[in-house]
Copies of this chain bind each other. A is one copy, B any other.
Amino acid sequence: MAVRVWGMSSSGNCHKVRLILDYLKIPYEWIETDTRHKATQTDAFKQMNPNARVPLVQLEDGTYLPESNAILYYFAQGTSFWPADKLSQARVLQWMFFEQYDHEPRIAVNRAIQSIFNTISERRAEYEGNLSKGHRALSIMEKHLSENPWFGAGTTSIADIALYAYTHVADEGGFSLADYPHIRNWLGAMEKISGHSRMTGK
Protein backbone atom coordinates (compact mmCIF):
# COMPACT_ATOMS: atom_id res chain seq x y z
CA MET A 1 0.00 0.00 0.00
CA ALA A 2 1.06 3.59 -0.53
CA VAL A 3 2.24 5.79 2.32
CA ARG A 4 -0.58 7.84 3.89
CA VAL A 5 -0.01 11.13 5.72
CA TRP A 6 -2.49 12.79 8.08
CA GLY A 7 -1.41 16.41 8.13
CA MET A 8 -2.54 20.02 8.38
CA SER A 9 -1.18 22.06 5.47
CA SER A 10 -0.57 25.13 7.64
CA SER A 11 1.57 23.15 10.14
CA GLY A 12 5.33 23.26 9.75
CA ASN A 13 5.67 19.94 11.55
CA CYS A 14 3.43 18.41 8.87
CA HIS A 15 5.24 20.26 6.08
CA LYS A 16 8.46 18.48 7.09
CA VAL A 17 6.85 15.18 6.04
CA ARG A 18 5.69 16.62 2.72
CA LEU A 19 9.25 17.88 2.04
CA ILE A 20 11.11 14.62 2.72
CA LEU A 21 8.60 12.60 0.67
CA ASP A 22 8.69 15.09 -2.22
CA TYR A 23 12.52 15.33 -2.14
CA LEU A 24 12.75 11.53 -2.27
CA LYS A 25 9.92 11.23 -4.84
CA ILE A 26 8.02 8.79 -2.61
CA PRO A 27 4.32 8.79 -3.56
CA TYR A 28 1.82 9.36 -0.76
CA GLU A 29 -1.78 10.18 -0.01
CA TRP A 30 -2.24 13.40 2.02
CA ILE A 31 -5.26 13.40 4.32
CA GLU A 32 -5.94 16.99 5.37
CA THR A 33 -6.52 16.97 9.13
CA ASP A 34 -7.38 20.32 10.69
CA THR A 35 -6.66 20.51 14.42
CA ARG A 36 -8.71 23.73 14.57
CA HIS A 37 -11.76 21.53 14.01
CA LYS A 38 -10.51 18.94 16.55
CA ALA A 39 -9.94 16.36 13.81
CA THR A 40 -7.23 14.66 15.91
CA GLN A 41 -9.43 14.40 19.03
CA THR A 42 -11.78 11.71 17.70
CA ASP A 43 -11.63 8.16 19.04
CA ALA A 44 -10.82 6.92 15.53
CA PHE A 45 -7.77 9.22 15.29
CA LYS A 46 -6.58 8.41 18.81
CA GLN A 47 -6.62 4.71 17.90
CA MET A 48 -4.01 5.57 15.25
CA ASN A 49 -2.08 8.03 17.47
CA PRO A 50 -2.86 8.10 21.20
CA ASN A 51 -1.02 11.45 21.43
CA ALA A 52 -3.73 12.97 19.16
CA ARG A 53 -1.32 14.98 17.02
CA VAL A 54 -0.42 15.42 13.39
CA PRO A 55 1.64 14.61 11.42
CA LEU A 56 0.93 10.91 11.49
CA VAL A 57 2.14 8.51 8.81
CA GLN A 58 0.90 5.05 7.87
CA LEU A 59 3.84 3.10 6.47
CA GLU A 60 3.83 0.62 3.62
CA ASP A 61 3.23 -2.29 6.05
CA GLY A 62 0.22 -0.60 7.65
CA THR A 63 1.84 0.52 10.90
CA TYR A 64 1.44 4.08 12.18
CA LEU A 65 4.33 6.40 13.02
CA PRO A 66 3.85 9.83 14.68
CA GLU A 67 6.32 12.63 15.60
CA SER A 68 7.54 14.69 12.65
CA ASN A 69 11.24 14.24 13.38
CA ALA A 70 10.96 10.48 13.87
CA ILE A 71 9.15 10.31 10.52
CA LEU A 72 12.00 12.27 8.91
CA TYR A 73 14.48 9.78 10.40
CA TYR A 74 12.57 6.79 9.05
CA PHE A 75 12.39 7.99 5.46
CA ALA A 76 15.94 9.40 5.41
CA GLN A 77 17.58 6.03 6.13
CA GLY A 78 19.70 4.97 3.17
CA THR A 79 19.53 8.43 1.55
CA SER A 80 21.85 11.45 1.48
CA PHE A 81 19.64 13.18 4.08
CA TRP A 82 21.12 10.95 6.83
CA PRO A 83 24.92 11.02 7.21
CA ALA A 84 27.04 7.88 7.49
CA ASP A 85 29.23 8.51 10.55
CA LYS A 86 27.84 8.42 14.07
CA LEU A 87 29.16 11.83 15.15
CA SER A 88 27.42 13.53 12.22
CA GLN A 89 24.31 11.49 12.97
CA ALA A 90 24.39 12.66 16.58
CA ARG A 91 24.86 16.28 15.42
CA VAL A 92 21.86 15.99 13.09
CA LEU A 93 19.79 14.76 16.05
CA GLN A 94 21.29 17.51 18.26
CA TRP A 95 19.77 20.13 15.95
CA MET A 96 16.47 18.22 15.66
CA PHE A 97 16.10 18.13 19.45
CA PHE A 98 17.06 21.83 19.54
CA GLU A 99 14.29 22.42 16.99
CA GLN A 100 11.63 20.71 19.10
CA TYR A 101 12.77 22.18 22.43
CA ASP A 102 14.12 25.68 21.76
CA HIS A 103 12.77 26.68 18.33
CA GLU A 104 9.30 25.25 17.66
CA PRO A 105 7.76 26.11 21.07
CA ARG A 106 8.60 29.81 20.42
CA ILE A 107 8.53 30.38 16.67
CA ALA A 108 5.75 27.96 15.72
CA VAL A 109 3.67 28.85 18.76
CA ASN A 110 3.84 32.60 18.05
CA ARG A 111 2.90 31.94 14.42
CA ALA A 112 -0.08 29.90 15.65
CA ILE A 113 -1.09 32.67 18.05
CA GLN A 114 -0.72 35.41 15.42
CA SER A 115 -1.64 33.78 12.11
CA ILE A 116 -3.38 30.42 12.65
CA PHE A 117 -5.66 30.83 15.66
CA ASN A 118 -5.69 34.66 15.70
CA THR A 119 -5.54 34.81 19.49
CA ILE A 120 -2.81 37.43 19.92
CA SER A 121 -4.93 39.68 22.16
CA GLU A 122 -5.84 36.85 24.58
CA ARG A 123 -2.29 35.45 24.70
CA ARG A 124 -0.25 38.66 24.71
CA ALA A 125 2.04 37.80 27.66
CA GLU A 126 2.91 34.36 26.24
CA TYR A 127 3.50 35.90 22.80
CA GLU A 128 5.84 38.59 24.17
CA GLY A 129 7.75 36.06 26.25
CA ASN A 130 8.27 33.86 23.21
CA LEU A 131 9.73 36.72 21.15
CA SER A 132 13.00 36.96 23.08
CA LYS A 133 13.35 33.18 23.36
CA GLY A 134 12.66 32.73 19.64
CA HIS A 135 15.26 35.34 18.71
CA ARG A 136 17.71 33.54 20.99
CA ALA A 137 17.13 30.35 18.97
CA LEU A 138 17.51 32.24 15.68
CA SER A 139 20.78 33.79 16.92
CA ILE A 140 22.20 30.34 17.69
CA MET A 141 21.25 29.21 14.18
CA GLU A 142 22.78 32.36 12.63
CA LYS A 143 26.07 31.81 14.48
CA HIS A 144 26.21 28.18 13.33
CA LEU A 145 25.46 29.13 9.72
CA SER A 146 28.19 31.78 9.77
CA GLU A 147 30.65 28.88 10.04
CA ASN A 148 28.82 25.95 8.37
CA PRO A 149 26.59 25.64 5.29
CA TRP A 150 24.18 23.13 6.87
CA PHE A 151 23.01 21.91 10.28
CA GLY A 152 24.62 18.76 11.62
CA ALA A 153 26.15 17.25 8.50
CA GLY A 154 28.36 18.31 5.60
CA THR A 155 25.41 18.35 3.23
CA THR A 156 21.64 18.83 3.47
CA SER A 157 20.16 16.54 6.13
CA ILE A 158 16.89 16.04 7.95
CA ALA A 159 18.13 18.59 10.52
CA ASP A 160 17.85 21.24 7.78
CA ILE A 161 14.36 20.04 6.86
CA ALA A 162 13.29 20.15 10.51
CA LEU A 163 14.61 23.68 11.03
CA TYR A 164 13.37 24.96 7.67
CA ALA A 165 9.76 24.13 8.54
CA TYR A 166 9.01 27.04 10.85
CA THR A 167 11.98 29.30 10.04
CA HIS A 168 10.80 30.08 6.51
CA VAL A 169 7.49 31.38 7.89
CA ALA A 170 8.95 32.99 11.03
CA ASP A 171 7.60 36.39 9.94
CA GLU A 172 4.05 35.02 10.38
CA GLY A 173 4.83 34.87 14.11
CA GLY A 174 6.39 38.31 14.26
CA PHE A 175 10.00 37.22 13.79
CA SER A 176 11.75 39.32 11.14
CA LEU A 177 14.77 37.63 9.56
CA ALA A 178 16.27 41.00 8.52
CA ASP A 179 19.14 40.64 10.99
CA TYR A 180 19.91 37.01 10.05
CA PRO A 181 21.63 37.07 6.64
CA HIS A 182 23.10 33.58 6.96
CA ILE A 183 19.68 32.14 7.78
CA ARG A 184 18.21 33.86 4.71
CA ASN A 185 20.99 32.42 2.51
CA TRP A 186 20.41 28.95 3.95
CA LEU A 187 16.64 29.19 3.35
CA GLY A 188 17.43 30.10 -0.27
CA ALA A 189 19.71 27.07 -0.60
CA MET A 190 16.96 24.81 0.75
CA GLU A 191 14.49 26.23 -1.76
CA LYS A 192 16.71 25.06 -4.65
CA ILE A 193 16.28 21.37 -3.76
CA SER A 194 14.35 19.43 -6.39
CA GLY A 195 10.79 18.82 -5.19
CA HIS A 196 10.85 21.73 -2.72
CA SER A 197 7.78 23.70 -1.70
CA ARG A 198 7.06 26.50 0.74
CA MET A 199 4.10 26.24 3.05
CA THR A 200 1.03 27.77 1.53
CA GLY A 201 -1.91 27.04 3.82
CA LYS A 202 -2.95 29.08 6.83
Across the interface, do B70 and A94 meet the contact criterion of CB distance under 8 Å? yes
Q: Using a CB-CB cutoff of 8 Å, which residues 76-127 of chain A contact chain B?
A: 77, 86-87, 89-91, 93-94, 96-98, 100-102, 104-105
Q: Which of B66, B69, B73, B140 contacts A89 (CB 8 A)?
A: B73
Most buried by B among A89, A96, A105: A96
Query: Is the CB of A144 closer than 8 A to any CB of chain B?
Result: yes
Q: Say how many copies of this protein the assembly contains.
A: 2
Question: Given contacts A97-B97, A97-B100, A100-B97, are A70 and B51 in contact (CB under 8 A)?
Answer: no
Query: Is the CB of A42 closer than 8 A to any CB of chain B?
Result: no
Query: Is the CB of A30 closer than 8 A to any CB of chain B?
Result: no
Query: Is the CB of A48 closer than 8 A to any CB of chain B?
Result: no
What CA separation (Å) do A50 and B148 show in the bound complex? 14
Interface size on A, residues (CB 8 A): 32
What CA separation (Å) do A96 and B93 show in the bound complex? 11
> In the assembled complex, which residues on chain B have CB atoms less than 8 Å from the CB atom of A86?
74, 77
Query: Is the CB of A63 closer than 8 A to any CB of chain B?
Result: yes
Q: Using a CB-CB cutoff of 8 Å, which residues 113-167 of chain A contact chain B?
A: 140, 143-144
Across the interface, do A91 and B70 meet the contact criterion of CB distance under 8 Å? yes
Closest residue to A82 on the B side, CB-wise? B86
What CA separation (Å) do A65 and B144 show in the bound complex? 14
Q: Which of B74, B77, B90 contacts A70 (CB 8 A)?
A: B90
User: Could you tell me which A residues sit within 8 Å of B by CB distance?
Assistant: 50-51, 59, 63, 65-71, 73-74, 77, 86-87, 89-91, 93-94, 96-98, 100-102, 104-105, 140, 143-144
8 sampled A-B residue pairs with Cβ under 8 A: A50-B144, A69-B93, A70-B90, A73-B90, A74-B86, A74-B89, A74-B90, A96-B97
Sorted from nearest, which 10 A-B pairs have the closest CB atoms? A70-B94, A74-B90, A67-B94, A70-B93, A67-B97, A77-B86, A70-B90, A100-B101, A69-B97, A73-B93
